[in-house]
Structure 1
Amino acid sequence: MAERRTGDNPDSSEADLLQIVPTAAPRGGGKGSSGGYDCELVELPPAAFQTACPVCHLFLREPHLISCCGQKICRQCLDPDNPEKTACKLCGEPEFTHLQDRGLERSMKELEARCTYKKEGCEWSGKLGELELHLNRGCDPENQPRECQFVGVACQYRCGEWFQRRHIAAHESKQCPKRPYTCDHCQTYKAVYDDVVQNHYSQCKKYPVACPNKCREFPFERHQLETHFQEECPLVQVVCPYQYAGCKAELVRKDVLQHIEVETSLHLTLLATVTESLVKTSQELRGNVGLVHELNVKQVSMMTECSSKHQQLEQAHGRALQELNRHIVQLTATADVLVKENKELREEKDREVRELMKKLSAAQEGIENLKEEVKTLKVDTVQHSEFPKEFRVKVTSIDMITPAFYTHPHGYRMCLRVCPKGVTGDETHVAVYAYLMQGPFDKHLHWPFMGDITVQLVNQAGDHGHVERVIRFTDKTPDRHSRRVKGKEVSESGWGKKYFLAHEDSLVQRPQGNPVSEKPPHCN
């Protein structure tokens, strides 16, 4: 579909007045698409011959037979790139195998099909196995291009628009606002089209502009406009050339000559007045010349007297300079002695600093060895951790935090928080939460953490009434509970059971009074 446009695109011409309407992104069936083939078959196969994928409902592409329900689905519909194995999308079976049905794949590729973009006008038909080559790129036996001209293609200049392949060249060369473009006035500035038109044109020195006074029809280059105002424009407001003589007339440049011819008598009168004033000034200047001569004579006399005094001062300065040089020689000798003593002191200090540096290096090496020994002791302590872990906590009305423990040798570091009065302090349930902590092996572990933590509250008053719950960290656990802890000792958010044990089911009596309990941060 095309429509007329009347924009101000400077590179448009009468032959370029058709604007191509953007289209959508390419549909399934092309190279890199997921699922099956999106097209029509020229002749449908028998009903007993399975051609459609029960997941994407398109014609099968690389069909695979799954073991759980015996269905055949597309390879991409199996989601083979997902590292986490998921259940069957048809029957929900968590464990199943699949095998590619190459015989069915060959049969599918031999079916006669029409182009995915038949409704847009493409008349291609051929084997289903050749559809992908047709939609993307390829040549026929005569080496002629035969890619589909109705496929949506993205503009190479990343303007965000999609066009049918048959229209993309016209868009990229004439319409794309981000296409490379050179200013057609100065022929030097190069950028994208939008930048040239919207930013550069307002500053280009060769951009055509009209005289604001409209003194002529054809425009100027922008850099010529100022000279035109100052020297040429006949409609610029100027003053009379005889303004210095007293004429106060203001008129446009084209009327200056006429004004001079008409007002000749006025200008002569003004000039006569100015001339008379100049003559009087000249006479006054002649009278002042004698005074200036007398002043010059007095100045010469004063200069002679000053010269004599200057010679006397020079002699005094010479004597003072000789005395100063004598003192400088004495100070130089003293300075040489001090420099020698300073050099000896520096060498002695350098020797002391080198000895201290050796001692410091030995001390640092000893500290590093101690750090390695401490780290080894920590690792040994962690490696001998065994399960199950048992923590004895005193039952009170405030929250209790267990000592830190590891899930396994070289594993995740964690702790438990027990809330006897619950999260909100409603005193109806005991809540238990697990918190991840910063550990020495975090950079070698997989994140986010996923696994099961079995927590058992043991009734020490008897052999019954024990309560056991499992806190599960899965891929659905919010990231703030299971991500790696950095920059602090323990995670701000715990994950666990808000209703771990009802108070009415507990065998432990609640303490008397209502002390204020500390609410665990971000318990969910």
Structure 2
Amino acid sequence: MASLACSSSYDSCQYGGYSFKFVDDDPPNEYLCHICTLVARDPQQVSCCSNIYCKSCLDTLKEKGQRFICPTCRSSLKRKYMYFKDGRVERGIKSLKVYCTNTDSGCQWTGTIKDIDTHLNSCTYHELVPCTNGCGEMIRRSKLETHLTDNCPKRIVNCQYCKRRATHQLITSCSHLDECPDLPIQCSNEGCDEKIPRRSLASHEETCPKAIVPCEYNTVGCHKVMRREEQEKHNEEAIKQHLKAAVKKIEVLLPTNQLFKLNEYTELKEEEEDWYSPNFHTSPGGYKMSLNVVANGDGDGEGTHVSCFINLEAGEYDDLLEWPFQGEVTIELLNQLEDKNHKKDIVTYNESTDDEYKHRVSGGRSTAGLGFMQFISHEELEHNPATNCQYLKDDSLYFRVSVKVTSTSKTKPWLVRSAI
């Protein structure tokens, strides 16, 4: 079906006939204009041969300034009354049944040419109206509702993930999708096919079996990296290495120096009493021992010197340790005036040391202490201006003890972890 040049009233068009799609058969030839060959609009009959023409077609022919003659019989039409409006033909044409010009858009109306202008004034498939959401599009009235609910970029919708309400244009834009907390994001770990809401991505990374992670014992020296799902197998295969590394790390981190204060020196000296420090371990899960100080001296040092000895004690980890004990224990009596000129001696446990000093103690404290009967003379304890030394002050002495274990194997590594 051809379309006409005018867009509102078909009878107000300036040129040519009707190009409607007719409901019945093609219209009779007597209704056709012999110039435009369409159904004549405002039909005029020429008196020379009685043929029908559109008035606009004849007027256009006349205005061309050439010979104004009948296109059919070639007779002159310049004389008055050579053509006139044919009312009978017009009534016949107006009664022809046609389809709405918006049939292809979905309009089902049919009616006469006489009524089509009235129909087009209200045809929902004919008029273009602006989108009421303000998107700028012009929509046929019949499709406006569908546009507003399904197609308009400014229609209000819910995000399918986070349920936020906003315009479709915003919800589908990068500005929203780049921030949407519930947008499914593909896990970045190779081999993991899960898509996780953005808000849960961080927690998923902490548990993803495909994530590359360091060994759980990396802080103690195991530098292997693996997938999280491989950790358990690695821990089982490397348990001995991990235990050794853990023990070594603990020994490095924890202090090896023990500081003790001996109070009431004068009373201990006069009463000839032994003083024992609180017991201590050489390391976590290590050998247990204590410092024994005899203020008035013992053996060759009695009455003239302070004697110092190291006594092994029965410890809770002795089953895990190598015996006899071998190592070096450094005993220092601290100068209380400045950090130098401390009195120091080293007690050595080796293969030549008598067994009574280095063997495992069955219970309590060993009665045999290894050390020095003449550790320091009583006179040296007093203030010495020449060396700026004073070991005895306020009737107190300070001792510092450090241990270096030299046993072939300090511990049994397959047991020490459970003990610690």
Into which bin does the TM-score normalised by the smaller protein fall? Answer: 0.3 to 0.5
Larger Rg: 2
With CA pairs under 8 Å and 6+ residues apart, which has the higher RCO, 1 or 2?
A: 2
Which one has the bigger strand percentage? Answer: 2
Q: TM-score, normalised by structure 2?
A: 0.40
Q: TM-score, normalised by structure 1?
A: 0.33
Which one has the bigger helix percentage? Answer: 1
